């Protein structure tokens, strides 16, 4: 098992998982998420990007 963690990428993934372990496991136990808010934020960003630089009437 130690051979896998000698690679820097695996160590980084493992460190991140260990840091966020509780939050990651809770995301599978509870049906709550923020996809609606993320969708609204994405729509706002797209509108801002599309309207950037256009002449205002």
Q: pLDDT tens per residue, the chain (57 residues)?
A: 556 557 788 888 999 999 999 999 998 898 888 889 999 999 999 898 888 766 555
Query: Is the distance from CB of 32 to CB of 38 less than 8 angstroms?
Result: no
Q: Which pLDDT value is given to residue 27?
A: 87
Query: Is the distance from CB of 13 to CB of 19 less than 8 angstroms?
Result: no
Domain presence at residue 28: yes
Range of the domain at 11: 4-51
* Structure token digits, residue 20: 């966020």
Domain presence at residue 56: no
Q: Which pLDDT value is given to residue 32?
A: 83
pTM of the model: 0.48
**Distance, C-alpha 39 to centroid of its chain:** 13
Domain count, the chain: 1
Domain presence at residue 57: no
- Write the CA distances from 55 to 7, 45, 50, 51, 52, integer angstroms: 52, 18, 12, 9, 9
| C-alpha to C-alpha distance for 13 and 10, rounded to whole angstroms | 5
């Amino acid at each position: 098992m130690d051979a896998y963690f000698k690679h820097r990428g695996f160590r980084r993934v493992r460190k991140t998982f260990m840091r966020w372990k509780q939050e990651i496991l809770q995301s599978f136990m509870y049906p709550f998420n923020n996809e609606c808010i993320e969708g609204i934020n994405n729509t706002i960003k797209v509108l801002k990007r599309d309207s950037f630089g256009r002449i205002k009437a």
